[in-house]
Amino acid sequence: MNPDTLFTGARILGAGVDLVGDLLVLDGRIADFGPALGRPDGAETVDARDLVLCPGLVDMRAALGEPGFEYRETIESAALAAAAGGITTLAALPDTNPVIDDPALVHLLRTRGEETGSLTILPYGAVTRGCKGEELAEIGLLREAGAIAFTDGGKAVASTRLMRLALSYARGFDARIVQHPEDPSLAAGGCATESEQATRLGLPGIPAAAEAILVARDLRLVQLTGGSIHFAHVSTAEALALIRQAKDRGLAVTCDTAPPYFDLNETAIGNFRTYSKLSPPLRKEADRQAVAAALADGTIDAVASDHQPRDADDKRLPFALASPGGCGLATLLGVTLAQVHNGALALPAAIELLTVRPAALLGTDAGRIAKGAVADLCLFAPDRIWQVTAGALPGKAQNTPFDGRPLEGVVLGTWKRGRRVFG
């Protein structure tokens, strides 16, 4: 049995909830919340004065490494890092080895998540067999097995015909296609955003337009098929403008971004700093500002960690040869809160971008503060300062582009179904 818990004096934040008071957890669920609740016999008390209590974060895009890349990350190590970051629900990308294009693997990932006791794993199914972009995976069977949406992870579905078929077929199963929006032919061989900086460093560039070009194509396919699409880690002003216009026209389009794209720009690669080699690459300052503005105006539907674990050998290479990707579980909340501290985003809006809004996109009832809801909770000190240090982060992956970055917002405790799993 999980212990009953009374949180006292917290600022309780959730969709439609913003109050200072107490929250009571009984039998793993939220029994009540409000001012000055009584403490039941035997319940533990957590003094949450001057702290924020919100739903456990819902991360809608993360690579776990397992199966196949356990040297980078395992489900166990990712669960530890997620709990330390306040994350209790995570959508796992399918581009593992083997690829999640078999219903048995969907079941396996869900089961492995339950076995951690701290993390619900919601698996994506692959759009194409082997994530190779050649033929559709068994979308219907994967959906029946519990795949929450369909994506080829860090690879774009390049074939226009195949993307049309995927959108049409997924529509029949009330499923969403999640696209990595980058035209592969324009991005081929590139490793940084095409710019004066890339030229100065002698790095092959990827034009920022590669993102908008694929977004424009796929929006036209959504209009043609009536399907539903979600664009992952959107990073450019041009792509966001297209998505904003499509939403105004009523198309079934949503998008997320990741902390590097509203907190960092291309200068973070510095003198060939491979921890800052990401996919998509870091952009110019004008694009970073556009992403931050799109968080505030609602164009962006969610913030995801875009956790891409790499080991030292993946990154200890010349910049052009190093693997792209940054770990992001432990820094997801802190970097998002930077937008609150600089006045660009209200705290309730930031929490919604990390909880109820991604939960809605994933079709899960996580991410809520409500009577009777499962007590997945995150308690954090919004103004407490810490510094990101590669090598000292929780979990196995340490390849953070935020190495050395001071952040405000420290997770003090995480609860899964009413049981404390961190802090």
The residues that are catalytic are 306
Cis peptide, bond prior to residue 55, ω within 30 of zero: no
Under DSSP, the state recorded for 374 is: B
Token duo for residue 413? 């405790």
First CA to last CA across the chain, in angstroms?
A: 19
CB 168 within 8 A of CB 227: yes
Residue 285 phi, psi dihedral angles, 5° rounding: -60, -35
Pairwise CA distance, residues 156 & 173, whole Å: 21
CB 229 within 8 A of CB 179: yes
Count of CB atoms within 10 A of residue 55's CB? Answer: 30
Q: Is 61 helix (H, G, I), strand (E, B) or coil?
A: strand
Containing 13, the helix (H) or strand (E) segment is strand 5-14
Which is it for the CA torsion 131, 58, 311, 186, positive or negative?
A: positive
Which is it for the CA torsion 265, 356, 400, 123, positive or negative?
A: negative
Pairwise CA distance, residues 128 & 101, whole Å: 8
- Concatenated DSSP letters for 87-155? EEEEEEPS-SSS-S-SHHHHHHHHHHHHHHSS-EEEEPBPSBGGG-SSSB--HHHHHHHT--SEE-TTS
Pairwise CA distance, residues 203 & 205, whole Å: 6
Give ∠ CA 387-388-390 in degrees, rounded to 5: 140
Q: Which residues pair with 407 in a beta bridge?
A: 386
Q: Is 361 helix (H, G, I), strand (E, B) or coil?
A: helix
Q: Which residues pair with 254 in a beta bridge?
A: 230
Pairwise CA distance, residues 351 & 57, whole Å: 8
Length of the chain: 423
